[in-house]
Structure 1
């Protein structure tokens, strides 16, 4: 007999990549019945891909959202709350910051729900674990535990699925009275999805809080280059002119220049991504050592944008990465780019989750909890 759809609510929904991932989960249908974000441009991108957004997407500051605004029967609540105050590249104000402090608004809504969703999934940067010496993560775990959730922490770099280095940590909460037999108590072993620092989090909090873990399969190897993710046919006008390319090359440090020259002289054409950095007050370009992209970011300035460098056979071409390439690197090859300006599209993807990562968590963690008969 076909199981009932898993009813999900998507907090900080952005352009809808969590929903994109959940709808790919094998064995059970996931139905997003409520979604929220504060930015109209993100809602427009979401609606261009999910026409039913008119029925359930609420454009509103989460501080104005009440538990009564959500429909009944939510089984899964996801929250990719802002990372800017937690990121090592941000201001490190932690959960007291204006942006990342929206975590508390999420917990406020969860507290008001009766019954609460059996499962919650939170996503943020690795910096969450070290913010204020670990005090912010401890406070977050404690607050979720008081809402009757048993908690697990995992860490996944998206490079296991797409050619982009994008490390993120996840908190999975399960209502304590609904823990399935497959979850374990105690200290989890060190694995690729639970490195030593995650194991240490479990060790630090498992006595005072309800913590659990679940055995997970190894993460896949992941692609090692950008083939299949780069747009081959783009307008010639997107490629930089000779003067701009020369300025790029002149800005390279000696180490970077050696890397550049090796690739330029190669017998095959290869791609590298590059960021502009400020070193000792001087703007410089830096190529990645490997063939994958750096972490895509929200476009807020020149240093946040990623350039694509094509090198080999004595030829060099450079341009900014396109929204389609950002979509591909976020695992959203089929995503429709129908709404917003190119810069808004880049911002939306830079602020999102990698589809393949959430799909993997959905298949290997969420589905066995919420619909165990679908995986047995």
Structure 2
């Protein structure tokens, strides 16, 4: 390994968007893991060196000694299904989200733990089981001698997608830079009041700190920058399917749709299916950005794109993998491996590149290159 680079391991790597985010900042990924072969196939098409360091398999079968020595950073986007408000809410007791403890187990057994860890999950993590799950996670990471900070960032500050996520950043207590603070941070766009409440509630019990961070950018206001204009005409729905789409709209939704159709400009809106009183119906987002992309599995998981305006006949189709990639800040990602549905699944289960890169630029890399975290 390069002795001057920041060496990282990516747990629950998926299609590799954490690497996509951090590699331009000088982070060298030397180990990665995911259980899904299809995700590895996509990762390898974009990072041919994956055969050397990507371990496809169950994280429960990984031993601490399997990881390379000298790691500086470990990232973990562990499964959210048991923590999500749209999931089963089993929390860290669930078979999927409970994989957090496998990540902690591997860290605990390492002769030299990485001085910095980054965890990402849905905001439901903070309220799961009345807040007991986030407390268990903070307690476990504190036992591993990490001081902890919590951030909440909605991807809409970077891409036209509403995707609120929370991040836990752990820094080895003996590696905390001098510009870190102890206490309760003031509310900000990255630490809303529920995050400051976490600091207030747990800061006296567990190791917690915070850093001053710049404001988040404003973010795009519509989908115009992500629309794929090269989609074949055959991908747009036929007259019967479009009529069924319009007929399924609620009265309030219909008013919104007609206002857009009579507008002077072409507008793009994302739409998704909802079940209301046992009836499947379509809904348009109130704003002009996409809703949170999800793993494709039916129901409301897939989003449609609606082109409407100038009193023309509206057009509707499913969003494409390219549009999903752009909504995840990965417009240059090679869409080669897997079926279109596997590609949609991979992006719906990933992190937004721009968000993680912002955290890397303003938090992770400065910490890892400060005097207190020098190697050796």
Q: TM-score, normalised by structure 2?
A: 0.97
1:68-94 superposed Cα distances (whole Å, 9 cap, x missing partner): 110010100000000000000000000
Distance 1:216 1:172 in 2: 13
SS in 2 for 1:268: coil
SS in 2 for 1:302: coil
Kindly indicate whether residue 175 of structure 2 is the aligned counterpart of residue 178 of structure 1: yes
Name 1:47's counterpart in structure 2. 44
SS in 1 for 2:119: strand
1:107-122 matches, within 5 Å, as 107-122=104-119
1:289-368 matches, within 5 Å, as 289-315=286-312, 316-368=314-366
Q: TM-score, normalised by structure 1?
A: 0.97
Name 2:226's counterpart in structure 1. 229
Name 1:269's counterpart in structure 2. 266
- Of 51, 68, 73, the residue aligned with 1:71 is 68
Shift of residue 172 of structure 1?
0.2
Distance 1:355 1:80 in 2: 13
Unaligned runs of 5+ in 2: 372-376
Shift of residue 372 of structure 1?
3.0
Distance 1:14 1:184 in 2: 33
After TM superposition, the runs of 4+ consecutive aligned structure 1 residues lying more than 2 A away are none
Moved more, 358-367 or 302-311: 302-311
1:312-358 superposed Cα distances (whole Å, 9 cap, x missing partner): 01220000000000000000010000100000000000000000000
Distance 1:228 1:255 in 2: 28
Name 1:142's counterpart in structure 2. 139
Distance 2:117 2:124 in 1: 20
SS in 1 for 2:300: helix
Distance 1:35 1:287 in 2: 38
Kindly indicate whether residue 258 of structure 2 is the aligned counterpart of residue 244 of structure 1: no
Shift of residue 302 of structure 1?
3.4
Aligned length: 369
SS in 2 for 1:275: strand
Distance 1:347 1:51 in 2: 21
SS in 1 for 2:270: strand
Distance 1:180 1:372 in 2: 7
Question: CA, structure 1 residues 3+161, in 2 after alignment: closer, same or farther (shift >3 Å)?
Answer: farther
Q: Is the 8 A contact 2:274 2:299 kept in 1?
A: no
Distance 1:258 1:130 in 2: 35
- Of 92, 97, 100, the residue aligned with 1:95 is 92
Shift of residue 3 of structure 1?
8.2
Distance 1:319 1:169 in 2: 31
Shift of residue 109 of structure 1?
0.2
Distance 1:181 1:254 in 2: 58
